[in-house]
Amino acid sequence: MQLYIDSANLEQIQKYTDWGFIDGVTTNPSLAAKEGVKPEELSTHLKKITDIVKGLVSIEVYSTTYDEMIAEAMKYSEIASNIVIKLPCTQDGLRACKTLSEKNIKTNVTLVFSPLQAMMAAKMGATLVSPFVGRVEDALFDGLDLIAQIRVIFDNYEFETKILSASFRSTKQISEVAQIGSDIATVSPDLLEKLIKHPLTDIGLEKFLKDAGLK
Ligand code: E4P
């Protein structure tokens, strides 16, 4: 399973790229705002991210209507060859997805909460589809089942669209989507660090070094 970092923070993106963890990046308007990036500064900020990460980098449109989405997407697609245009799963967003796919511009349909939304995004030619595991679980529904159902549909019809599971609240959820067969998981910096942690690893290493007389 590929791992993306779900952040617009340049230091964190650089850090986990240096660690060798990162296959790509996802951002959204909330994450950009958290870094103090205004809408008119988004292209410049994302260019800095594409300079760090060679994999796919998702940039989300602020527009909500088809014509404005296309105009915004065309501007963002000039940033770098690894840019992916993130579009909400609305009627305008899906129509924009189809148009951009036909122009060979990569797309990521986001805010996906049902298997049928994912199927429709795939039918529109989306490169990536982003189901939000954590927000589904926050609402007391089964976020992991959502990923499993999308996996079945995509496999049934051999859709090339990749499942980019998002919005994680725990490392356990990340482990579960990996077992289900999610193609990608986008993970916040705090959870990324926890992926390699286990207390028994630390205890075991301490004992080895002690037994060897090195501690
Ligand atoms: C996905 O691309 C989103 O940026 C993200 O995973 C949403 O996570 P949240 O529910 O923690 O905001």
For residue 67, the number of C-alpha atoms closer than 13 Å in the C-beta half-sphere is 0
Q: How far apart are CA 176 and CA 174, in angstroms?
A: 5
**CB–CB of 85/76 below 8 Å?**
yes
Range of the domain at 64: 2-211
Class of residue 200 by CB neighbours under 10 A (exposed 0-12, middle 13-18, buried 19+) = exposed
- The predicted structure's pLDDT at residue 186: 98
The alpha carbon of 56 and the centre of ligand 1 are apart by a number of angstroms equal to 16
Q: What is the CATH number of the domain that holds 114?
A: 3.20.20.70
**CB–CB of 97/107 below 8 Å?**
yes
Write down the pTM of the prediction.
0.96
Q: Please list the pLDDT of the chain residue by residue as tens digits (215 residues).
A: 999 999 999 999 999 999 999 999 999 999 999 999 999 999 999 999 999 999 999 999 999 999 999 999 999 999 999 999 999 999 999 999 999 999 999 999 999 999 999 999 999 999 999 999 999 999 999 999 999 999 999 999 999 999 999 999 999 999 999 999 999 999 999 999 999 999 999 999 999 999 999 98
Total of domains in the chain: 1
Pocket probe for ligand 1: among 85, 89, 132, the residue whose CB has the most ligand atoms within 8 Å is: 132
Catalytic residue list contains 86: yes
Q: Whose CA is nearest to atom 6 of ligand 1?
A: 167
- The predicted structure's pLDDT at residue 34: 98
- The predicted structure's pLDDT at residue 31: 98
Atom of ligand 1 nearest to the CA of 134: 10
Out of 34, 48, 75, 86, pick the active-site residue: 86
